[in-house]
C-alpha cells in the first residue's frame, strides 16, 4: 500500500477512533453529581435554605483548595478521579414525605446523581431512604435525628450524626446535673409533633423518664401545622409539670412560645429539640424565646477548642453574610462523607461507593461538630452508635471533652451551670444569638 497523504490521514483517524473510547474509560468523569433533597419551599423553607447553604459551602471546599483539616480540602476536586468536581443538584421536598420519594427518583433517574444527601425532616428522610434503597444509590444523611432511621437494616443508607436517643439522654443528664445543684424536679410533661421525628423523641423521653425516675404527668402529640394550640397549652397548665420537654419544628415552636406567654405557662424549665434552635426562631419571637433550653449539635464557641470551626464559619460568613447555624453545620458534613468515599472508591459505581462509605474514618479534627468523627457501625450504618456497640451502662456516655450538653438559655454565665461547648446559649433579649458558654 502506498502511503499517500490521504491514506496517512485515514490511518491516524482510525487509530484515534480506536484509542478514543479507551481514553474515555480511563478518564474519570469531570463532574460528580450529588443530589440534595431539602424542604426548599413550604412550611419550613427557612430551614431548607439554611441546610442548602451548609451543603454548598462544603462542596466549595471540596472543589477548591483550602488549608484545613477537612477531608479533600487541600486538593481541588476529587484527586483520585482526575480532579473531578462535585456538583450539587437540589430537589425540593416541600417538607412532605411523598416528595422525598419523588425527588430522589427524579434526581437519580433524570439528573443521574450518584449519591443523595438531606432531607432534614425525619419523615421525609424515611421515604427518601426507601427510594435510594430501591434504586441502589448511596444516601448519607446528617440532618435527620429520628432513631428509627438507622434501624431498618438498609444497605445504602448511612447516618453520620448521632440521633435523638442520645440527645434525649443528654437532656436527662442535664436535668440530673441541675438537681445536684439544688433544683427539685419530679414531674415532666412531654409535648411533640406527631410525625416520625417528634413521635420518636416522645417515645425516647417516655422511656428515659422512667429510667431516670421522673413522673410523666402529660403526654401530648399534635400536628405541626396546627394554627392554634390553646387546647394543648391548656392541658399543660392543668398538668402543671416541673419540666416541659418539647420536640418541634420551627413554626410550631413559634406558635407554642407565643401561646405559653399568652396563657402564662411557666414551668421550671422548657427543654426542647430542633425547632427552637433554628436561626429564624429568635428573630420571630424575640425576648419571648429567652429561658428556653435547646439541644444543639453545633455552636460557634466550639471554635475555642476546635480552630477548624472558626475557619469554616469565616468562610460561611464571607459567602452568606451570616454566622453558621446548627442546620447549616449539620448539612455541611454529609457531602464530605460522600465525596471522600467516592474518591477512595475511585469510581461512582454504587456498590464500590457503599463499601467505601462503610470504611469511612474521619477523626475528631476532620469534623466541625463536637463528636469523635465519623465511623459507621457495620450493621446499623449509624455513626458512633452507642446502643449498637452495647455494654455501656445506661446514662454513661463516651467521655469526650466536647460532649454535647444542653445549656440553659439566657444565662450570661452559663459555665456556672456546668454546660460545655456544643450547647446553645441565648444571651441577649434583642434577638441576636450569641453562643458563648
Partner 1 sequence: MNIVNFAHGDFLMLSMFVSFWLYALVGLDPLFSIPACALLLFALGLLIYKFAVSRVMRGPMLAQLVVTFGVSIFIANTAVLLWTPDYRLIDKTLLSGTWHFGTVQVSVPKVVTSVGSVLVSAALYLFLTRARMGKAILATEMNRDSALLMGINTDRVNAISFAIGSALVGIAGAFLSMYYYIYPQVGGMFGTISFAIVALGGFGSITGAFIAGILVGLVQTLGGYFFDPAYKYAIVFFLYLLTVWIRPQGLLGW
- Binding test (CB under 8 A) with partner 1, winner from 41, 109, 152, 379: 41
Tell me if 119 contacts partner 1 by CB under 8 A.
Answer: no
Pattern 48-87, binding to partner 1, x per CB under 8 A? xx--------------------------------------
How many whole angstroms separate alpha carbon 30 and alpha carbon 77? 9
What are the backbone dihedrals phi and psi of residue 32, each rounded to the nearest 5 degrees, phi first? -110, 120
Going by their DSSP bridges, the two strands 85-92 and 115-118 should be labelled as unpaired
Tell me if 100 contacts partner 1 by CB under 8 A.
Answer: no
Q: What sign has the CA pseudo-torsion 313, 315, 318, 320?
A: negative
Cis check: omega of the bond before 303, within 30 degrees of 0: no
Mapped onto helix, strand or coil, the DSSP state of residue 36 is: strand
Q: Using CB atoms within 10 A of its CB, is residue 434 exposed (0-12), middle (13-18) or buried (19+)?
A: middle
Tell me if 333 contacts partner 1 by CB under 8 A.
Answer: no
| DSSP strands (E only) in 98-197 | 115-118, 139-141, 157-159, 187-193
In terms of CB distance, is 94 or 306 closer to partner 1?
Answer: 94
Contact 69, 365 (CB under 8 A): yes
- Binding test (CB under 8 A) with partner 1, winner from 68, 88, 239, 263: 263
Tell me if 239 contacts partner 1 by CB under 8 A.
Answer: no
CA dihedral 177, 180, 184, 187 (to 10 degrees): 40
Q: Which residues pair with 86 in a beta bridge?
A: 32
Pattern 276-315, binding to partner 1, x per CB under 8 A? ----xx-xxxx-----------------------------
Q: Which stretch binds partner 1 (CB under 8 A): 7-15, 68-76, 166-174, 228-236?
A: 228-236
Q: Which stretch binds partner 1 (CB under 8 A): 17-25, 227-235, 340-348, 356-364?
A: 227-235
Tell me if 42 contacts partner 1 by CB under 8 A.
Answer: yes
Tell me if 232 contacts partner 1 by CB under 8 A.
Answer: yes
Pattern 179-198, binding to partner 1, x per CB under 8 A? ---------------x----
Contact 97, 73 (CB under 8 A): no
Tell me if 321 contacts partner 1 by CB under 8 A.
Answer: no
Tell me if 428 contacts partner 1 by CB under 8 A.
Answer: no
How many whole angstroms separate alpha carbon 418 and alpha carbon 437? 9
- Binding test (CB under 8 A) with partner 1, winner from 255, 300, 339, 386: 255
How many whole angstroms separate alpha carbon 116 and alpha carbon 94? 17
In terms of CB distance, is 41 or 416 closer to partner 1?
Answer: 41
- Binding test (CB under 8 A) with partner 1, winner from 74, 85, 155, 235: 235
Chain residues that interact with partner 1, rule: CB under 8 A:
41-46, 48-49, 194, 220-223, 225-232, 234-235, 250-251, 254-255, 258, 262-264, 280-281, 283-286
Amino acid at each position: 500500500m502506498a502511503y499517500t497523504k490521504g491514506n496517512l490521514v485515514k490511518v491516524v483517524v482510525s487509530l484515534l477512533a480506536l484509542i478514543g473510547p479507551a481514553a474515555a474509560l480511563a478518564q474519570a468523569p469531570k463532574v460528580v453529581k450529588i443530589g440534595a433533597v431539602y424542604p426548599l419551599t413550604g412550611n419550613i423553607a427557612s430551614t431548607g435554605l439554611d441546610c442548602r447553604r451548609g451543603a454548598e459551602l462544603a462542596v466549595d471546599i471540596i472543589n477548591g483548595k483550602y488549608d484545613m483539616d477537612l477531608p479533600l480540602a487541600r486538593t481541588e476536586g476529587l484527586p483520585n478521579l482526575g480532579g473531578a468536581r462535585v456538583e450539587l443538584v437540589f430537589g425540593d421536598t416541600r417538607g412532605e414525605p411523598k416528595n422525598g420519594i419523588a425527588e430522589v427518583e427524579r434526581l437519580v433517574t433524570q439528573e443521574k446523581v450518584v449519591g443523595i444527601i438531606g432531607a432534614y425532616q425525619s419523615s421525609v428522610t424515611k421515604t427518601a431512604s426507601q427510594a435510594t434503597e430501591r434504586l441502589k444509590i448511596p444516601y448519607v444523611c446528617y440532618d435527620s435525628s429520628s432513631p428509627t432511621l438507622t434501624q431498618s437494616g438498609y444497605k445504602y443508607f448511612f447516618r453520620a450524626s448521632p440521633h435523638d436517643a442520645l440527645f434525649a439522654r443528654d437532656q436527662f443528664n442535664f436535668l440530673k446535673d441541675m438537681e445536684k445543684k439544688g433544683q427539685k424536679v419530679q414531674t415532666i410533661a412531654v409535648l411533640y409533633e406527631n410525625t416520625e421525628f417528634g413521635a420518636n423523641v416522645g417515645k425516647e423521653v417516655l422511656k428515659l423518664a422512667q429510667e431516670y425516675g421522673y413522673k410523666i404527668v402529660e403526654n401530648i402529640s399534635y400536628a405541626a401545622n396546627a394554627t392554634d394550640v390553646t387546647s394543648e397549652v391548656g392541658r399543660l397548665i392543668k398538668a402543671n409539670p416541673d419540666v416541659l420537654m418539647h420536640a418541634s419544628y420551627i413554626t410550631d415552636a413559634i406558635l407554642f412560645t407565643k401561646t405559653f406567654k399568652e396563657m402564662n405557662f411557666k414551668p421550671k424549665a422548657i427543654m426542647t429539640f430542633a425547632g427552637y434552635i433554628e436561626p429564624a426562631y429568635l428573630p420571630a419571637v424575640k425576648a419571648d424565646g429567652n429561658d428556653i433550653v435547646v439541644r444543639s449539635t453545633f455552636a460557634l464557641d466550639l471554635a475555642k477548642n476546635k480552630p477548624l470551626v472558626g475557619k469554616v464559619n469565616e468562610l460561611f460568613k464571607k459567602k452568606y453574610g451570616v454566622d453558621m447555624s446548627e442546620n447549616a453545620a449539620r448539612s455541611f458534613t454529609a457531602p464530605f462523607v460522600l465525596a471522600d468515599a467516592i474518591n477512595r472508591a475511585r469510581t461512582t459505581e454504587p456498590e464500590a461507593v457503599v463499601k467505601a462509605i462503610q470504611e469511612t474514618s474521619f477523626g475528631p479534627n476532620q469534623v466541625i461538630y463536637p463528636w469523635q468523627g465519623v465511623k459507621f457501625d457495620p450493621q446499623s450504618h449509624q455513626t458512633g452508635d452507642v446502643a449498637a456497640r452495647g455494654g455501656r451502662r445506661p446514662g454513661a456516655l463516651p467521655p469526650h471533652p466536647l460532649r454535647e450538653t444542653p445549656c440553659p438559655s439566657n444565662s450570661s454565665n452559663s459555665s456556672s451551670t456546668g454546660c460545655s461547648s456544643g450547647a446553645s446559649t441565648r444571651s441577649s433579649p434583642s434577638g441576636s444569638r450569641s453562643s458563648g458558654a
